[in-house]
Amino acid sequence: MIVSVPKPMEEVMNLLKDENSIFLVGCKGCAESCKTGGQEAVEKMEKTLIEAGKKITGYSLIDFVCDKALVKLRLTSYENKIKESDALLIMSCGIGVQAAANSVNKACYPASNTVSLGGRLGEWRGEERCGECGDCKLWLTAGICPMTKCTKSLLNGPCGGSQDGKCEFEPDNRDCGWHLIYERLKELNRLDNLKKYLPPNDYRKSQPPVEFRETIFWSLDQTKKGGAK
């Protein structure tokens, strides 16, 4: 399971300040269990955005937004509503935001942050990967994660080793993550995003929050020496 928590509503509104019409995408998988996706969360978000003066062109609930093929299939039936939209707000983990951004020619904004549980995730299909940084920046990078697409996890553009769109780490096989970001931002006519500075990553946010460490094993580990209470 991939755990996500809602971004503060103030942050969401700031991300969407220049977008007037929004299409919502909710995840009925992990995000629904976390109450960041699913019917209830989407309807609540819809009401909040309408009250803030935004136009909601529609919404779609998808079983697993991390499944790119499923996302493309479901969003095809909403093609006209998506065309009417300035952007999409994705209520899922970071993988879902990337999958949605890879499926539509629109800016995709994350409504949530994906948090680490301190262990390994299960495998998922597709090329999208989430670094569980706890502070999703995909709104700025056209839905391509700089933490995972760049071999150095650079947050403000390519390094000097990027040549002809390829990464110096594997120049024959790996695309430069920031070259991919540039090309997609260009396609979306949002190259101005590259002028925005991202501060150094706060790795404290990528650590498992206290409330997610309350497993039976963690509790046993925290029990005082001398036996059970």
Give the H or E element holding residue 90.
strand 87-91
Task: Report the predicted TM-score, pTM, of the whole model to 2 decimal places.
Answer: 0.86
32-86 tens-digit pLDDT: 988 999 999 999 999 999 999 999 999 999 999 999 999 999 999 999 999 999 9
73-130 tens-digit pLDDT: 999 999 999 999 999 999 999 999 999 999 999 999 999 999 887 665 555 556 778 8
Strands 21-27 and 87-91: parallel
Say if CB 15 and CB 107 are below 8 A apart.
no
Class of domain 3-140+200-207: alpha beta
CA distance 56 to 14: 17
158-208 tens-digit pLDDT: 999 999 999 999 999 899 999 999 999 999 999 999 999 888 888 888 776
If DSSP codes are grouped into helix, strand and coil, which group holds residue 156? Answer: coil
CB atoms within 10 A of CB 136: 24
Say yes or no to pLDDT of 228 above 70. Answer: no
160-184 per-residue burial string, b: 16 or more CB within 10 A, e: under 16: eebeeebbeeeeeeeebbbbbbbeb
Residues contacting 185, CB < 8 A, separation 6+: 141, 142, 191, 193, 194
Q: Helix 68-76 to helix 94-101 angle, to the nearest 10 degrees?
A: 50
CA distance 17 to 54: 9
Tell me what pLDDT residue 119 has. 61
Give the H or E element holding residue 21.
strand 21-27
Report the percentage of the chain scoring pLDDT > 70: 87
